[in-house]
Chains A and B, each alone.
Chain A
Amino acid sequence: MIAFEPSEEQKMVRDAVAQFADRTLRPRMREFERARALPPDVVAAAHAMGLPLAAFPEAVGGSGLGFVTQVLIEEELAAGDPAAAFALGGPGAYGWAALLLGGPDVAKELLAPFAGEAGASRVGAVAWGEPRAAQGRAGLATVAEKTASGWRLTGEKRYVLDAARAQSFIVFAQVDPAEGWRGVGAFVVPADARGLRVTARHETLGLDAASFGGVALDGVEVPAGARLPFGSESPNVVWLFATQALLVAARGVGLARAAFETTRAYAEQRKAFGKPIGHFQAVAFTLADRATDLEAARAMVWRAAWDWDQLAKSEGGKPDARQALLHTAWAVSYAHEAAMRAGDDAVQLHGGSGFMRDYPVEKWMRDAKQLGLCGMTAEHADQLAAAVALDKDLDPGLVLPSAETQSAFL
């Protein structure tokens, strides 16, 4: 069947998150922005609702609600405050990297600290991005050298979401320089490891409540067991970026909805030349286009999320993940651009007032641009979609964010 209605369970989750977003996030959006963080009570409330672990399989300590439910959650959170969706902490991409690159046993172990009351303030982060491309070869500039007891990591990582807040990182580094983009491995590194230094938090265009930064690794020693079994030689790294980008796309849908709804209401109420501005075609058509964008983006995100849930259910007789990747790539670039258009038009239709911080729309416009640089950019998603459509090899150097092409926050 093809159906577009959430299950009763999904509706309950969605409605609860919507209420949280409406009562707690939206009214305090500017407060979070000024503080450049979510206050502990908000983080604790989200944790108590089980949001950070909702989508993870039960086998690894999650609630097993799956990606479709997760994208419903992300849309609601972002409709409250897009930045909050990025700032809630929890395992996030770290957890998904643990699952996709470590397997269920490793994921279960790495996710355990995030459960229970004590887990509320816990944050994981993934360090993939870098300031400069590797010189003279393909792949990451950060290297992992084998030592007698494990690995030694050296390099500088950038564009790391929650770098300043994480207690633990999954760091990507070049294990085999000769293998280029196929020779990248993933390592679990605690934030207090000797030689790891969190670099200064960036000041960014938008999503201020989230924290964007980096880490420097000055010969950080980790045991052999710190290396996750799968690296960039497997398709799982591409899956990791795709699924994380899909969650970002769902937030894009929430952001677009907030911007659209606010603007729709404004167009009804604001008068010019004797009638509401929405009664002029130039304004009404813009609203119609943004409403259509929203409808399309949401359904595309749902379909891609459904693909990933199907994939997760079908262990063994694995269906082709390329379908999920294609739908995800399409959804990601569409939603990113739809969110940007929604933010841009929201400010435009508010006129001069839209430029003022008294109104929320200028924040959404900044957030939209920032959001499009998280997970995967529209450009990378397009490269990924084309690579799948053309039956090309999914070259991580081409389809994943990197200093060689275009960086993105993960």
Chain B
Amino acid sequence: MTIEFSLSNRQRDTLAMVHQFAESVVRPQSLQWDRDHGVPHDFLRQIAMMAQSMGGGLVMGPGRSSGDEKEPSADEKKRRQPALSTVLGAEAMAWGDAGLLLCLPGAGLGGPPVRASGTPEQKKRFLSVFDDMSGELRWGAYALTEPGAGSDVAGIRTSCRKDGRHWVLNGRKCFITNGARASWNVVFATVDPALGRAGHRAFVVEKGTPGFSVGKIEDKMGLRASETAELVLEDCRVPEDNLLGGEDGYRTKEGFMTAMKTFDTTRPMVAAMALGIGRAAYEHAVAFVKEHYMLARSVPRYAAIAERLARVGRQLEGARMTTWRAAWLADQGQRNAKEASMCKAMAGGAAIRACIEAIEICGAEGSIAGDGRLLEKWFRDIKVYDIFEGTGQIQRIVIAKRLLPDLKSF
């Protein structure tokens, strides 16, 4: 082992390609997608094919499909660095458009829990639906949040009870990315709220299941190309085979741990997406200053702007290094819950600062939407990165619990 910061040839080549694609194809359309509340399916299909031909990985992130895909061996992971490649790709894609990244077909955030906790039969059954999307596009989704339980994951109220060979689910899920279009949602429910985490169960609820319906589609501040849905479960009858991991998986606190394990993979990826948006804003501000300001003249304001740019740049770089390290730990097969929360908290905060400062630096011009003027969009897109996948405050709770072993709750 060593300390080094060079990309593998494969990482470098793929990144260069993604960057070029993001710049010349994605960015020119991103504002339109934002206004249209979606990306045309033809375009998504094109990307899905492209990603498949490239072997997934960089573009599709952990949401990449194939139920047949073997979990790579520990050595394979160390060599190919799937988590690290994913964060590199996520930053590059989000630099183009984060909304698009969330729209990409595939298992999405539903993939990690199925992969982490599903039985071999479940993995094959639920992940293989993404193998061939040449005809119909398909999505997976992750349904945890409820109107009354956001950060307080343990407080979910959606109920489940066994009835013969089925489970009957009742409740509401909200803010579910791709939840309405998903072929299946991983839905978290509880056998008894009084049991806390031990009562949690995770189900793969397929589209068309009796009692499952889509409620409101949200109208959001940003990421408007991405669909955010409310899901309604009314006496929803889910076959017992869809209980993620089977009954045996719940002798312990496993249900809740499924939700948490997922975050160790997805938080660095979400952090990387935030960095993509933050870097876009930072680079935009740098280019603006270069083009518009007469830097040769000594205007006091320029020194302040230089300082601001540097501060934004270094916060992003610090978050990027933390993100890389969290992903690297995952590829090494080492625990990374603390680091995953660190990078998520830092990247969300740094990228928001980047967007705020960039608009400030560009002045009135920075707030105008139009061709090649995406700063106001990035400002709208970024805010939720300090909220979803755990707010900045929740990340600090996770970190603190790992720093202070005796700390169980506040």
Contact = CB atoms under 8 A, between A and B. Distances in A.
Bind each other: yes
Interface of A: 1-8, 10, 68, 264, 267-268, 276, 278-281, 284-285, 287-289, 291-292, 295-297, 299-300, 302-303, 306-307, 326-327, 329-331, 333-334, 379, 381-387, 389-392
Given A3-B4, A385-B314, A292 B306 contact: no
Given A1-B4, A10-B3, A385-B309, 17 more contacts: A1-B6, A1-B7, A4-B329, A5-B3, A7-B3, A284-B396, A284-B407, A291-B338, A291-B342, A291-B403, A292-B346, A302-B5, A329-B310, A333-B310, A334-B318, A379-B307, A386-B310
A299 B325 contact: yes
A284 B314 contact: no
Given A1-B8, A2-B7, A383-B303, A389 B310 contact: yes
Contact of B328 (A3, A287, A288, A392): A3
Contact of B404 (A10, A267, A292, A295): A267
Interface string B382-410: 00000000000101110110011011001
A291 B318 CA distance: 13
A281 B151 CA distance: 15
Contact of B397 (A3, A8, A284, A381): A284
B306 A382 contact: yes
A225 to B, nearest CB: 39
17 contacts: A1-B8, A2-B4, A2-B84, A3-B2, A4-B3, A281-B397, A281-B410, A284-B397, A285-B393, A292-B322, A296-B346, A302-B321, A326-B313, A333-B310, A333-B314, A385-B314, A389-B310
A284 B394 CA distance: 12
Interface in B340-360: 342, 345-346
A389 B290 CA distance: 9
A271 B84 CA distance: 41
A392 B306 CA distance: 11
Q: Tell me what chain A mostly uses at the interface: helix, strand, loop, or mixed.
A: helix
Interface residues of B, number: 50
Contact of A383 (B8, B307, B332, B404): B307
A390 B289 contact: yes
Contacts of A300: 314, 317-318, 321
A330 B313 contact: yes
A68 B403 CA distance: 27
Contacts of B4: 1-3, 306
B319 interface: yes
B392 to A, nearest CB: 9
A285 B404 CA distance: 11
A296 B322 contact: yes
B1 interface: yes
B322 A385 contact: no
B49 interface: no
Given A279-B407, A295-B339, A288 B3 contact: no
A150 B90 CA distance: 60
B184 interface: no
Contacts of A383: 303, 306-307, 310
A71 to B, nearest CB: 9
Contacts of B289: 390
A7 B404 CA distance: 30
Nearest to B285: A389
A279 B404 CA distance: 8
B295 interface: yes
B311 interface: yes
A296 B319 contact: yes
B212 interface: no
A288 B399 contact: yes
Contacts of A292: 322, 342, 345-346, 399
A198 B1 CA distance: 47
B81 interface: yes
Contacts of B339: 295
Contacts of B406: 268, 276, 279
B214 interface: no
A295 B342 contact: yes
B286 interface: yes
A2 B314 contact: no
A117 B309 CA distance: 48
Contacts of B399: 287-288, 291-292
B1 A390 contact: no
A102 B215 CA distance: 73
A92 to B, nearest CB: 23
B379 interface: no
B324 interface: yes
Contact of B322 (A8, A295, A333): A295
Contacts of B313: 326, 330, 385, 389
Contacts of A385: 309-310, 313-314
A382 B311 contact: yes
